[in-house]
């Protein structure tokens, strides 16, 4: 393995003392204790992570990583890989869902090409950090070399460093673009959890029943190949092997970004299935990363519930979304802002001159 040196830097420790202080404040606000439900929980969690009595969401950074997948040539997606580049142009022109959402919530948006197959110039406003022209076909060989996987992790870490240094980011959202990336995500989760494709594979870009069967077969064949090459399922569940053999360049960049957030004390707001696969990989590579994660939404992709079960916790929203791009997480930002505003600005009983015992 050729692990980057930064990967060994310590994960920031969380401080329960601040969460306890926030919980005590919530109990003094002019409301029955616990009556605002998860809005209270969000503020308490953020206070603990940010080590402050005044939790905040902004500045928010959304970084979208793009990459192509060799297994797309086997027809596992309902769309041709050319759509990756077309969508990159759409991101550049501000026409994608996440572009509209980031503008609406006032978030910084960066699009980073870590591995599309196009050899020319990337579209305007897209950062070119291409490591390879997509991954190899993981159904036949490892998706990445050790060097490529390491470089993709590092590209994600650099994106977080940029966002902190330039904007002082407090909450980080990673999105993704790449035809066949739900196939890679299903394979990574299957490798890490030693699960077969059924229950992990979903419609992605819009498969019918026959397409789903084909996609599931491709994932199971991929997992079987690499388990055999490594001498058994336990060896493929080792996170470095799982990530480089059956992952994607953009998924690896997301993984590196999540680890770097935890190292630098930035809150991670997770999106859906692909984001969750990267989060699970990040936690397996660097235990303790999970503490910095908030689950933004529950994806309609069927495998997401397995990721949620493995990570623990409960998503903030369940809107039947499965677009990706970071869109589900972005949708949760106004909710988090509301939680912080209530926590920071609502009057306590003492400030309002209200006697708690008098509330009916």
Catalytic residue list? 325
CA geometry: angle at 49 spanning 46 and 55, to 5°? Answer: 40
Question: How far is 47 from 41, CA to CA, in rounded Å?
Answer: 10
How far is residue 289 CA from its own chain's centroid? 12
Question: How far is 87 from 324, CA to CA, in rounded Å?
Answer: 13
Q: CB-based contacts of 287: which residues, under 8 Å, 6+ apart?
A: none
List the one residue out of 37, 111, 62, 60 whose CA is nearest residue 327.
62
Q: CB-based contacts of 166: which residues, under 8 Å, 6+ apart?
A: none
Distances (CA, A) of 34 to 56, 168, 295: 20, 32, 20
| Residue 17: cis peptide before it, omega within 30 degrees of 0 | no
Residue where the block lists tokens 């969508």: 87
Task: Name the pairing type of β-strands 267-270 and 293-295.
Answer: parallel
Question: How far is 296 from 269, CA to CA, in rounded Å?
Answer: 6
């Amino acid at each position: 393995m050729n692990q980057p040196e930064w990967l060994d830097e310590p994960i920031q420790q969380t401080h329960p003392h601040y969460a306890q202080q926030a919980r005590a404040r919530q109990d003094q606000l002019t409301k029955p204790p616990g009556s605002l439900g998860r809005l209270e929980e969000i503020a308490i969690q953020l206070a603990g992570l940010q080590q402050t009595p005044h939790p905040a969401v902004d500045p928010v950074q959304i970084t979208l990583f793009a990459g192509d997948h060799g297994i797309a040539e086997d027809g596992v997606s309902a769309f041709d890989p050319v759509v990756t580049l077309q969508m990159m142009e759409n991101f550049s022109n501000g026409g994608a869902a996440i572009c509209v959402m980031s503008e609406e919530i006032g978030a910084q948006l960066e699009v980073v090409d870590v591995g599309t197959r196009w050899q020319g110039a990337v579209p305007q406003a897209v950062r070119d950090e291409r490591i390879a022209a997509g991954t190899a076909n993981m159904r036949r060989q490892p998706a990445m070399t050790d060097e490529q996987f390491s470089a993709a992790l590092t590209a994600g870490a650099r994106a977080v460093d940029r966002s902190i240094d330039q904007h002082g980011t407090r909450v980080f959202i990673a999105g993704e673009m790449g035809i066949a990336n739900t196939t890679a995500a299903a394979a990574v989760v299957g490798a890490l959890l030693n699960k077969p494709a059924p229950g992990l594979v979903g419609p992605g870009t819009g498969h019918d029943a026959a397409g789903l069967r084909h996609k599931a077969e491709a994932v199971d064949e991929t997992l079987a190949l690499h388990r055999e090459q490594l001498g058994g399922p336990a060896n493929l569940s080792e996170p470095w092997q799982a990530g480089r053999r059956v992952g994607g360049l953009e998924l690896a960049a997301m993984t590196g970004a999540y680890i770097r957030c935890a190292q630098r004390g930035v809150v991670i707001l997770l999106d859906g299935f692909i984001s969750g696969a990267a989060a699970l990989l990040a936690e397996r590579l660097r235990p303790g990363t999970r503490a910095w994660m908030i689950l933004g939404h529950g994806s309609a992709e069927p495998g997401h519930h397995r990721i949620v079960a493995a990570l623990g916790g409960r998503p903030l929203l369940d809107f039947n979304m499965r677009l990706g791009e970071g869109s589900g997480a972005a949708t949760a930002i106004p909710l988090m802002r509301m939680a912080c505003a209530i926590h920071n600005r609502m009057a306590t009983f003492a400030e309002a001159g209200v006697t708690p015992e008098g509330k009916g």
